Each structure stands twice: as C-alpha cells, then as structure tokens.
Structure 1
Amino acid sequence: MITFDQVSKIYRHNDTSITALDKVDLQIQPHEIFGVIGESGSGKSTLLRMINTLELPSQGQINIDGTNLMQLSDAQKRQSRKKIGMIFQQFNLLYNQTVNENIALPLRLNSAYDPQKVREVLEFVRLSDKGESYPKQLSGGEKQRVGIARALITQPEILLCDEPTSALDGQNAYDVLTLLQRINQTFGTTMVIVSHELNLIKQLCNRTAILENGKVLETIEIQKEQQQTQFSSYYERVRESLG
C-alpha cells in the first residue's frame, strides 16, 4: 500500500514560496490502478515524483508497504527505486541506441544484462520485430511501448505513468491503454496514472483523486459504466470552478 499522510511540498526561491502539494492524504491499494487527474500546475507530477523519492515532502509522511520513505538512506532510496518503473509522456528514449539497447539500459546500469529478458519483454509489448530498429524509425505508439518495455524489464512492483497517452493519437493511445491494463492483469502491478485526460482515467483506473492547486478535492471510485455520467459531471464542475 502507498500512503500519503498530510503531505505538503513547498518550493522556495529567493523570497518566494510555491506550494505544489498541500496536506495531501491518499491511500493506494496493492495491485490497484489509481488515477490522479487535474489541470497543469495542480501538483500531479510532484506527487508522482514523491513516490520514487525524487522529491521529498516538506512536511507529512509517505509510506510504501509500511516503510517511511523519509527515513531511508540514499542507498535505501536507490534500492527502493528498483521496485518502481516509470513511464514518461515524451518516451525519454536514447535515439542513438536500438530498441534492444534502450530496453536493456536498466539491466546494464545494474550489471544484470540478460538478453532473454529483453526478448521476453519485447514479445509482451508486441514489438518482437523491432529490436534492432532505432527510435526514429518507430511511430509514437511504438516508442511508448518501448518505454513501457524498459519500465517492465526490472519487474517493478509499482508503475508510475506520467501522462502516458497525451502525446499519442487515438489508436496509439488506445493500444497503450490496453497494454497497461494487460500489465496490471498479468503481473498485478500497482499503477499510479497522472493525467489531465478524463477518458483515460475513466477507462483505466479503479479510483482517482481530483487534484487542484495541490489539494485533493475528492477521491472517487470509478465503477465504469454505472458512474461515468456522475464522474463526468463532477469533473465538469471542477473545470468550471477553475475558470
């Protein structure tokens, strides 16, 4: 379980303070697909970076499976990150390396290169024929699937997804959404999806937190067809309140 307990994050520059997160309380269950939705600047990415300890709270506490992230040493933080995969909006691929080399990068960094693992994860994301291709030869959807394969290669317990479909067109976005669902169903991976796209959250997530100006307005359970109208109308009210 991932737990946020009264978590705030304040950035200070000269005499200016910016509150990115304001007393956030969240509980994300094991194996859940949990969404965080909000407009740009609402604090979504900061929240995500807290989970993999790239950012630490200014106040409050974050626990993963009972471990207080604030109490970890630097070495323990690095070890914790090995259990967490990250999927980025703009893919973050190395364009001078092949698909195989991009996917194998986390293994090489840990001196654990295994070509069989690379082949298996390529097959899982349905890119078996693209191993020797370079990113510039791929479509946007294929690039994101390479990014997902790279995140999966270390068999993470948690997968953090930062706007995973916003750079993709309709069919490619649908293919990535379907792949993320299959990862959760196959491996039981806990996923945290941050997005401003309402349809992605409705189709993919079990629950979602609505974030505005660093505050959680509400956490809503999504029961697919039964609550789609309710959820849509609620978020429209949120959007109207934002002006």
Structure 2
Amino acid sequence: MITFEQVSKFYSHNGVAVTALDHIDLKIQDHEIFGVIGESGSGKSTLLRMINTLELPSQGKIKIAGTDLMQLNDTQKRKSRKKIGMIFQQFNLLYNQTVNENIALPLRLNKAYDQQKVREVLEFVRLSDKGNHYPRQLSGGEKQRVGIARALITKPEMLLCDEPTSALDGQNAYDILELLRRINQTFGTTMVIVSHELNLIKQLCNRTAILEKGKVVETLEIQKGQQQPQFSSYYERVRESLG
C-alpha cells in the first residue's frame, strides 16, 4: 500500500513561495490501478515523482508497505526505486540504441544483463520483430510499447505512468490502454496513472483522485458499470459507442 499523510510540497520561484501540493491524504491499495486526474499545473507529476523519491515532501509522510520514504538513506532509496517502473509521456528512449538495447538498459545498469528476459518482455508487448530497429523506425505507439517493456524488464511491483497516452491518438492510444490493463491482470502490478484525460482514467482505473491547485478535491471509486467493455480494437469501441 502507498499512503500519503498530510503531504505538502513548497517551491520558491523568483523569490515567491509556490505550493505544488497542499496537505494530500491518499491510500493506494496493492494491485489496483489508481488514477490521478487534474489540469496542467495541478501537482500531478510532483505527486508521482514523490513515490519514487525523485522529489521529497516539504512536510508530511509518504509510506510504501509501511516504510516512511523520508527515513531512507540514499542506498535504500535506490533499492526502493528498483521495485518501481516509470512510463513517460514522451517515451524517453535513446535514439542511438536499438529497441533491444533500450529495453536492456536497466539490466545493464544493474550489471544483470539477460537476453532471454529481453526476448520475453518484447514478446509480451508484441514487438518480437522490432528488436534490432532503432526508435526512429517506430511509430509512436511502438515507441511507447518499448518504453513499457523497458519499465517491465526488472519485474517491478509498481508502475508509475505519467500521461502514458497523451502523445498518441486513436488505435495507438487504445492499444497502450489495453496493454496496461493486461500488465495489471497478468502480474498484479500496482499502477498509478497520472493524466488529464478523463476517458483514460474512466476506462482503466479502479479509483481516482481529482487534483486541483495542489489539493485532492475528491477521491472517487469508478464503478465497473462505468468502465467500458473490452474490445479488440479502438474502432470497435467507437462503433459500439455510436451504435
């Protein structure tokens, strides 16, 4: 479980105090897909970066499985991050390296390279034939699947997704949504999805926090009846909606 207890984050910008997060209380259950929705500047990305200790709260506590992240030393923080995968809006791939090399990067950094693991995760994201391609040879949806494969390669307990479909449209966005759902169903991975896209949150998440000007306005449970039925393609969903 991830818990935020009265978490606030303050910055100083040009000598002016800025409140990015204001007394946040949240509980995110193990294995759930939890959404955080809000407009640009509402504090979504700051909240996400605190879970993997890239940002630390100015006050309050953040706990993962009962451990207060503020009490961890640098070595313990690095160990904690190894259990967390990150998926970015703009993919964050290395364009001078192949798909295989991009996916294997976390393994190489940990001196645990395993080509079999790379093959397995490529197959899972359905890019088995793209291993020797470079990012410039891929579509936007394929680039995001490479980013997801790279996040999965270390078998994380948690995935943090920062606007995972906002750089995509149509079928590509729908394919990524279904891939994230499949990861959760297959591995039980806890997911925190940050987005300004209501449809993504509604279709994918179990619960969502609504963030406005650094405050949690409300946390809502998304009823299963509200979630869209699963279709094999984005176009089937459109036809069903319009039919």
Aligned to 2:173: 173
In the alignment, structure 1 segments of 5+ residues that lack a partner are 229-243
Contact 2:37 2:197 in 1 (8 A): yes
Alignment of 1:35-184 (within 5 A): 35-184=35-184
Contact 1:202 1:224 in 2 (8 A): no
**Aligned-pair CA distance for 1:133:** 0.2
1:89-144 Cα deviation digits (max 9, x unpaired): 00000000000000000000000000000000000000000000000000000000
Aligned to 2:2: 2
Separation in 2, partners of 1:224, 1:157: 24
Aligned to 2:221: 221
Instruction: Normalising by structure 2, report the TM-score.
Output: 0.92
1:207-242 Cα deviation digits (max 9, x unpaired): 0000000000000000133489xxxxxxxxxxxxxx
Q: Which amino acid aligns with 2:110?
A: N
Separation in 2, partners of 1:48, 1:121: 24
Aligned to 2:17: 17
Separation in 2, partners of 1:33, 1:78: 24
Separation in 2, partners of 1:67, 1:12: 29
In the alignment, structure 2 segments of 5+ residues that lack a partner are 229-243
Q: Which amino acid aligns with 1:212?
A: E
Instruction: Normalising by structure 1, report the TM-score.
Output: 0.92
In structure 2, the residue corresponding to 1:225 is in which secondary structure? Answer: coil
Separation in 1, partners of 2:137, 2:67: 43
Separation in 2, partners of 1:126, 1:223: 30
Contact 1:52 1:81 in 2 (8 A): yes
Aligned to 2:241: none
Distance 1:150 1:227, change over 3 A: closer
Separation in 2, partners of 1:20, 1:52: 17
1:42-63 Cα deviation digits (max 9, x unpaired): 0000000000000000000000
Q: Which amino acid aligns with 2:202?
A: K
Contact 1:38 1:44 in 2 (8 A): yes
Contact 2:159 2:191 in 1 (8 A): yes
Residues paired across the two proteins, number: 228
Q: Superposition RMSD on alpha carbons, in Å?
A: 1.0
In structure 1, the residue corresponding to 2:96 is in which secondary structure? Answer: coil
Separation in 2, partners of 1:34, 1:134: 33
Q: Which amino acid aligns with 2:107?
A: L
Contact 1:203 1:224 in 2 (8 A): no
**Aligned-pair CA distance for 1:188:** 0.2
In structure 1, the residue corresponding to 2:225 is in which secondary structure? Answer: helix
